[in-house]
Amino acid sequence: MTTTETLIAAADAHSAHNYHPLPVVVATADGAWMTDVEGRRYLDLLAGYSALNFGHGHRRLVAAARAQLDRVTLTSRAFHHDRFAAFCTELAELCGMEMVLPMNTGVEAVETAVKTARKWGYRVKRVPAEMAKIVVAGGNFHGRTTTVISFSTDPEARADFGPYTPGFEIVPYGDLTAMREALTENTVAVLLEPIQGEAGVIVPPAGYLRAVRELTRERNVLFIADEIQSGLGRTGRTFACEHEGVVPDAYVLGKALGGGIVPVSAVVSSAAVLGVFGPGEHGSTFGGNPLACAVALEVIAMLRSGEYQARSAELGEHLHRELGGLLSAGKVTQVRGRGLWAGVDIDRRLGTGRQVSERLMDRRVLVKDTHGSTIRIAPPLVITKEDLDWGLDQLRAVLAT
Ligand SMILES: *Cc1c(COP(=O)(O)O)cnc(C)c1O
């Protein structure tokens, strides 16, 4: 057996099979490239589901992490530490908001947003006890906890995990009429991805986010944007909501906020909303730890320059032009997305998304399929145009055969 086969067999024997990874075993990585245990190099067109927006081992981020490792890494929130104030201030400023509640993984931040909306509903909006409702969209992906899968519409994510948490109303994504009808006096929040990532990079109809913003404002309902995957440069702007000039009541952030080094997530909102929490009412041992704050501060500084957003916009235009060529050639049936982010539906006669991903892997390009016939392209924003073009050449070659 090769080293790759041995390691995969051992992983299969001793890890739960809750993933179906491509058969590549990564040993090292740099920028947009990963090297496997056999020394083969692969172009990374997934970027850790956008957790690696700045690529692997970005010098600035690694330096920030290293410097913090030598100072202090964990205090718990029982004490203050000297990176916390800057992290909260600068993240709030980047978001045009006032307050930050830091957590670790994305789903914890979504849970935090759910708790925030409910508490705000009871304390501020005065919804009767236990009656708070949150409206979400079909096809959503907000994470994997029992409460969050309670409002998933994906049978695989839900089956055999009940009983489910009540208090959620699901409406079709992009359907404004359904959204309007779903809102009642007891609705405390609308929770949406401004672009649905896991569903296949689904961009809502033009004007939808703006209309949801107006509707929620009129009805005294919080608009919570889950920008865990769409945010922090991925779409060519800091936030995907910006494409419609929308400012939500709260952002939920994660993935790229940790620079691909540590899990860092947060809810970012106004003082009127996040001010509902008192001591002991919510928390996390690792949330807002010094190492997380140091890395995230560097991420924020990098985003402040606008350089990565501009890169995503420019290379994204190129990416979508090239993918448009595959569409005209009849190799793919639909292409969606914004910036360096695309969901590509493969003509089923050419293979499943999984098969195309495997053939791309044989040509040293790594992507991930979703929902049968879709592949998702989300390179690190630091990718060069030459590398991106090489990756697209491999996709064309795979679809030509
Ligand atoms: C990935 C993701 C999450 C969950 O993040 P985890 O860090 O995996 O818990 C939530 N919402 C969206 C939109 C995501 O893409």
Count of residues for the chain? 401
- Residue 99, phi then psi, degrees to nearest 5: -135, 155
Residue 284 pLDDT > 90, yes or no? yes
What is the Cβ-side half-sphere exposure of residue 148, based on CA atoms within 13 angstroms? 19
- Active-site annotation holds for 226: yes
Atom of ligand 1 nearest to the CA of 252: 11
- Residue 276, phi then psi, degrees to nearest 5: -70, -15
In this prediction, what percent of the chain has a pLDDT beyond 90?
99
Does ligand 1 lie within 6 Å of residue 142's CB atom? yes
pLDDT at 323: 98
Q: How large is the angle between the packed helices 59-69 and 290-304, nearest 10 degrees?
A: 150
CA distance 58 to 50: 14
**The token pair that represents 207 in the structure block:** 């004007």
Does ligand 1 lie within 6 Å of residue 264's CB atom? no
* Residues 69-96 pLDDT 10s: 999 999 999 999 999 999 999 999 999 9
Q: Give the residue, out of 229, 253, 284, 341, with the most ligand 1 atoms within 8 A of its beta carbon, to mutate for a pocket test.
A: 229
pLDDT at 371: 84
Stretch 375-384: mean pLDDT: 98
**The token pair that represents 75 in the structure block:** 């205090």
Name the pLDDT band for 401 (thresholds 50, 70, 90). confident
Strands 250-253 and 265-269: antiparallel
Stretch 372-390: mean pLDDT: 97
pLDDT at 232: 98
pLDDT at 161: 98
pLDDT at 375: 96
Residues 132, 121: contact at Cβ < 8 Å?
yes
Does ligand 1 lie within 6 Å of residue 202's CB atom? no
Give me the amino acid identity at 359: R
- Active-site annotation holds for 255: yes
Strands 133-137 and 168-171: parallel
Query: Strand, coil or helix: what is 169?
Result: strand
Give CA 162 to chain center in angstroms: 25
State in Å: Cα 53 to ligand 1 middle: 14
Q: How large is the angle between the packed helices 385-400 and 307-328, nearest 10 degrees?
A: 20
State in Å: Cα 228 to ligand 1 middle: 6
Residue 214 pLDDT > 90, yes or no? yes
Atom of ligand 1 nearest to the CA of 196: 13
Does ligand 1 lie within 6 Å of residue 258's CB atom? no
Residue 257 pLDDT > 90, yes or no? yes
The candidate with the shortest Cα–Cα distance to 117, out of 186, 190, 189, 179, is 189
State in Å: Cα 66 to ligand 1 middle: 26
Residue 60 pLDDT > 80, yes or no? yes
Strands 374-377 and 342-346: antiparallel
Contacts of 107 (CB under 8 A, 6+ apart): 142, 143, 144, 145, 148
Stretch 311-326: mean pLDDT: 98
Atom of ligand 1 nearest to the CA of 226: 13
The candidate with the shortest Cα–Cα distance to 105, out of 137, 145, 77, 135, is 145
Does ligand 1 lie within 6 Å of residue 231's CB atom? no
Q: Which residue has the tokens 């929490």?
A: 277
Atom of ligand 1 nearest to the CA of 229: 15
Name the pLDDT band for 372 (thresholds 50, 70, 90). confident
Contacts of 103 (CB under 8 A, 6+ apart): 109, 111, 112, 265, 266, 267, 284, 287
Does ligand 1 lie within 6 Å of residue 110's CB atom? yes
Residues 256, 53: contact at Cβ < 8 Å?
yes
Residue with CA at minimum distance from ligand 1 atom 15: 229
The candidate with the shortest Cα–Cα distance to 268, out of 257, 284, 279, is 257
**Threshold 0.85, pTM exceeds:** yes
What beta strand segments (E) does 71-138 contain? 99-103, 133-137
Query: Strand, coil or helix: what is 388?
Result: helix
Structural domains present in the chain? 3-58+308-400 (3.90.1150.10), 71-304 (3.40.640.10)
Residues 86, 297: contact at Cβ < 8 Å?
yes
State in Å: Cα 127 to ligand 1 middle: 29
Residue with CA at minimum distance from ligand 1 atom 10: 142
State in Å: Cα 252 to ligand 1 middle: 10
Residue 270 pLDDT > 80, yes or no? yes
Number of H helices, E strands in the chain: 14, 15
Stretch 315-330: mean pLDDT: 96
Residue 122 pLDDT > 80, yes or no? yes
Task: State the chain's mean pLDDT as an integer.
Answer: 98
Name the pLDDT band for 253 (thresholds 50, 70, 90). very high
- Residue 94, phi then psi, degrees to nearest 5: -60, -35
pLDDT at 195: 98
Residue 177 pLDDT > 80, yes or no? yes
Q: Choose the catalytic residue: 54, 84, 87, 141.
A: 141
Atom of ligand 1 nearest to the CA of 148: 10
